[in-house]
Structure 1
Amino acid sequence: MNTVLRHRLLWPAVILAALLLTNLLFTDNFFAVQMRDGHLYGSLIDIVRFGAPLILVALGMTLVIATGGIDLSVGSVVSITGALACLRISGMDDQNAVSGVVAAAGLALVLSLVLGVWNGFLVAGVGIQPIIATLILMVAGRGLAQLITDGQIITVNSGPYKLIGGGYWLTLPFGILIVLAVLALTAALTRRLALGLLIESVGGNAEASRLAGIRSRGVIIAVYTFAALCAGIAGLMISSNVSSADGNNAGLWIELDAILAVVIGGTSLAGGRFSLGGTVLGALIIQTLTTTIYSIGVPPETTLLFKALVVTVVCLLQSPAFREKVFHRRRRPVTAPPAAEEKVKVPA
C-alpha cells in the first residue's frame, strides 16, 4: 500500500480522474463511446485526439529535459513544418495524389530534423545555454514560417493529408495511432536499450558521464533532434486537422504546455530520471483541463488564469515537501536499539 501511495504517477492519475468526473457533472454521457460509420466517437476519444499533438511534443521535451536542457523552439517547429507541407501541397496539380503528399510531409520532417540538429549543435557544440539557444529558433522560426506562407493562411484540400490529423483508420483517429507508434518506439529505445540510461547519466552529471566515456555531445544532439522531429509530426497533425497553415498562430505556446506536461508527469527540470508514462498523463491532464474549462462555461478571458491555478494545485500536490507540511506527515525519529547489558564478571 505504501508503495502505491508513493508512486510518482499516483497524483497525476488522481487529478486526471477528478477532471474526468467533473466533466461528467456538466456533460451527459461524457464517458459514452459510440460507433458511427465505422469510427469511434465520444468525448474521451476527442480528448486523446485533440491532445495527440501535445503528447508528441511533450515526449520530445521529456528527453530534452532529462538531459538538463529545455527546448523553447518546438512551437516554431510546429508552425514551420505545417507551413512548408501545406505550401508544397497547395502547389500540386492534384492535391489528392498520395505520392505528392508523402513527399511534402517528408520534406517538412527533414527540415524539422535539420532544425533539431541546429539546436543540439548550439547547445552541445558551441556551449550556449539551452534556454538561449532554443530561444533563438523560437523567435526566428516564427519569422521563417511567415516567410514560407508569405504572411497568409495557406489552405489545402487534400484527402490524404487530412488523414494525418483529422482522419480515421482501424476505427480510431489516425493521430492516436501515430502517438501510440511514437510512444512505443520511444519506450523501446529508452527502456529496452542503454539510450535511456545514457540520457539520465548526462542529465544527472554531464561531467561525470563524460569522464565515464559517454559521448554527451552526441546524446544531447540526438535528444534535440528527436524533440524537433516530434514537433514536426505534431505540426503536420495540427495543420492537416484544419486543412490550413497559419505561420503566426500554429503551435503558439505549445512549448509551455509541453513543459507543464513533463513537470506534472514527475520529470525534474534539473535533469536525470524521466517518466514517459507520466508525461502522457500530464498531457492528457492539460487537454482534459481545456475540455473542462469549456464544459463548465468559464469565461474566455479568464481561461488562462483558471488553467494556471489548476496546474499550480497539481504541482503542489506532487511536492513531497508540500504534502508533508500540509498533512503534517512527520517522520518518526529513528532510535537506536537498546544496548545489551554488559555482563560484568565479579571476581570470586
Structure 2
Amino acid sequence: MQNNVKNKSKISEVLGRLAGQQIFIPIAALLLLAIFNLIMDPSFYTVTLGHNNAGDPVLSGYLITILDYGSELAILAIGMTLVTAATGGQDISVGAAIAISGSVILRVLCGTDSRPDTLQAPIIVAFLISCVVAMLFGAFNGALVAYFKIQPMVATLILFTAGRSIAAWINNNELPIVSDKTFTYFGGFIPGIPIPTPFFIAAACMIVTALVLKFTNLRLYTQAVGINESSSRLNGLNPQFIKFLTFVILGLCVAVAGLIKVSRLSSINYSVIAKDIEMDAILAVALGGNALSGGKFNMTASILGAYVIQFLTTTLYKFNVQSDALSAYKAVVVILLVVLSAPIVREKCSALWKKIKGTHAKEVA
C-alpha cells in the first residue's frame, strides 16, 4: 500500500515538472488533437504514396498537409516570436507583407510580360530581391516601433491596410503566371522526393535560427529588452536597435513564406494570399507558452505551436467546418490561452497543485 502511494507521489512529481515546462502547453494541445482525431476518425492518420501530374512519387494525407502548410507558418512563428519577445507587441502586417514579397518575386521572374514563355531572371535573384524588399518593409515597421515609440499593432496596421494594394500595384494589377516547372518545386515537391519541399525549407530555417541563437547573443539581448528596457539600456544594450532588428528578421521570414506561397500556384491572388495568417502566427507564439507581453521565449515551443495550429485547422477542414468559421474556433483557443496565462489563474493553479502534493506527502507519512 505504501509503495503504491510512493509511486503515485513520484508520478505526481513528474507531472508537476512537465506542467512547469513551457513546451508542455503545445505538447498537451497536440495530444488532445491527436486523441480526438483518433477517436473520431482513425483514417485521419492514413498516409498514401501516389504520383502527381508529372508522374513523380508523392505522399498524401492529412498528416502530410499539416507538415506542408504548417511549415510556412513555423517560418513566420520564428520571426514573430522575436518581435513579441523584444517589443511586447505583434506584427499584424505579415499577411500583406507576404503578398508584397510574392508580388516582387513574380515581377522579377516575369518582367514586363505577365505570362512569359521563359523566366526573365534566375529564381535565386528574384528571391534575394524579395528578401531585400521584405526586410525594408520590416525595417519600416521596426523604425516606427523602436524609434517613434508607436505600439507595434498600431504601427503595423499601416502596412496591414496598404500592403495588398502595394502588391497589386507592383504588377500593375495583373495576375502574372510563371510557366517554368522548376518554380513549383519550392511550394510543391522536388522530383524523386515524396515529402513536400516547404518542410525542408522550414527545417533549414530552424537550423539557422538555432545556430544563431546558440552562437550569438540575440536570445539574451532580445529577452533582456523585453523584460526591462531601461535596465538593458543601463547594461550597455541598445533597445531601439534590438527591436528594429527583430522586425527586419521577421521581414526575412516573410520573404521565405512569400516564395512558398507564390510557388504553390505559380501566380498570386492579392486579396486572398496569406489571408489571416498573422492571426495564426500570433496564436502559434501564444500556444508556445510565450508571454505576449514580451520577455523570455521558447523558440521550439513556438515552432511546435505553429504545427499544432495547422493540426487544428486541418482537423476543422476534415469535419467540414467552413473557412469563414475557422476564425471563430481559433478565437476560442486564444481566449483559453489568455485566461490560462493570466497571473491570477496561474497562482490559483499553483496553489491547487501544492495542495495536492501536500496531501500526497501526508499519505506517505
Question: Which category describes the TM-score, using the shorter chain as reference length?
Answer: 0.7 to 0.9
Say which of 102, 112, 134 aligns to 2:134.
112
Distance 1:222 1:269, change over 3 A: same
Tell me which residue corresponds to 1:42: 61
1:79–1:251 contact (8 Å) kept in structure 2: yes
* Kept in 1: contact 2:119–2:178 (CA 8 A): no
| 1:314 shift after superposition | 5.0
Q: Does 1:65 align with 2:115?
A: no
**Structure 1 position 6 matched with structure 2 position 20:** yes
What whole-Å deviation, never above 9, does each CA across 1:149-183 have from its counterpart, x for those lacking one?
A: 33343332222221111123744221111111111
Which of 177, 194, 199 matches 1:176?
199
Rounded Cα–Cα distance in structure 1 between residues aligned with 2:211 and 2:259? 24
Counterpart of 2:302? 279
Residues 1:83 and 2:97 are matched in the alignment: no
Conserved? CA contact 1:101–1:160, under 8 Å: no
1:21 Cα shift? 3.0
- Residue in structure 2 matched with residue 197 of structure 1 by the alignment: 220
Unaligned runs of 5+ in 1: 333-348
- The structure-2 alpha-carbon separation of the partners of 1:85 and 1:211, relative to structure 1 and needing over 3 Å to count, comes to same
Give distance in 1, aligned partners of 2:305 and 2:338: 11
RMSD of aligned alpha carbons:
2.6
Partner of residue 291, structure 1: 314
CA contact (8 A) 2:95 2:160 kept: yes
Please report how far the alpha carbon of residue 13 of structure 1 lies from its aligned counterpart in structure 2 after TM superposition: 0.8
Q: Is the 8 A contact 1:190 1:196 kept in 2?
A: yes
**Bigger fraction of residues in helix:** 2
Pick from 268, 283, 288 the counterpart of residue 265 of structure 1.
288
Mapped to 2, the partners of 1:255 and 1:204 lie a distance apart of 24
Look up the match of 2:73. 54
1:24 aligns with 2:38: yes
Matched, 1:312 2:326: no
Listed one character per residue, the Cα deviations across residues 112-148 of structure 1 (whole Å, up to 9, x for unaligned) are: 1111122222222333332222212222222211212
Task: Give the SS at the match of 1:267.
Answer: coil
Match of 1:131 in 2: 153
| Contact 1:11–1:317 (Cα < 8 Å) also in 2 | no
Q: Secondary structure of the equivalent of 2:102?
A: helix
Mean CA deviation greater in 23-32 or 83-92: 23-32
Offset at 1:7? Answer: 1.4
Aligned pair in 2 of structure 1 residues 6, 231: CA closer, same or farther (>3 Å)?
A: same
Q: 1:270 to 1:323 in 2, by over 3 A?
A: closer
What code does the residue aligned with 2:68 have? R
Q: In structure 2, what is the Cα distance between the partners aligned to 1:225 and 1:3?
A: 36
Give the 3-state SS of the residue equivalent to 2:280 in structure 1. Answer: helix
1:252 deviation in Å?
Answer: 1.9
Q: Identify which of 149, 174, 179 aligns with 1:157.
A: 179
By how many angstroms is 1:275 displaced?
1.0
Q: Which moved more, 1:307-316 or 1:213-222?
A: 307-316
| 2:144 corresponding residue in structure 1 | 122
Contact 2:135 2:252 in 1 (8 A): yes
Q: Which amino acid aligns with 2:46?
A: A
Q: Does 1:225 align with 2:245?
A: no
Distance in 1 (CA, whole Å) between partners of 2:343 and 2:25 is 11
Instruction: Specify the alignment match of 1:336 in structure 2.
Output: none
Could you tell me how far 1:101 is from its partner in structure 2?
1.9
Per-residue deviation, 1:16: 1.1
Cα deviation, 1:183-238, whole Å, max 9, x if unaligned, reads: 11112212332210011001111111011101222211211000011011111111
Overall identity of the aligned pairs, in %: 34
Supply the AA of the counterpart residue of 1:43.
Answer: Y
Query: Structure 1 residue 244: deviation in Å?
Result: 1.2
SS in 2 for 1:104: helix
Q: Secondary structure in 1 aligned to 2:43?
A: coil
User: Do the aligned partners of 1:23 and 1:295 also contact (CA within 8 Å) in 2?
Assistant: no
Note closer, same or farther for the CA distance 1:319–1:24 as it changes in structure 2 (3 Å cut). Answer: farther
Counterpart for residue 273 of structure 2 = 250
> In the comparison of the two structures, how many residue pairs are matched?
333
Worse overlay, 159-168 or 198-207 = 159-168
Q: TM-score, normalised by structure 1?
A: 0.86
Residue 244 of structure 1: SS of its match in structure 2? coil
Alpha-carbon shift at residue 264 of structure 1 (Å)? 0.9
Alpha-carbon distance in 1 for matches of 2:57, 2:284:
32
- The TM-score with structure 2 as length reference comes to 0.83
Asked which structure has the greater CA Rg, the reply is: 1
Give the SS at the match of 1:191: helix
Name which of structure 1's ranges 128-137 and 172-181 shifts more when overlaid on structure 2: 128-137
Q: C-alpha offsets along residues 252-289 of structure 1, whole Å, 9 cap, x if unaligned?
A: 22111111110111111111101111111211121111
C-alpha separation between the residues in 2 aligned to 1:212 and 1:139? 38
In the alignment, the residues of structure 2 paired with residue 168 and residue 34 of structure 1 have an alpha-carbon distance, to the nearest angstrom, of 17
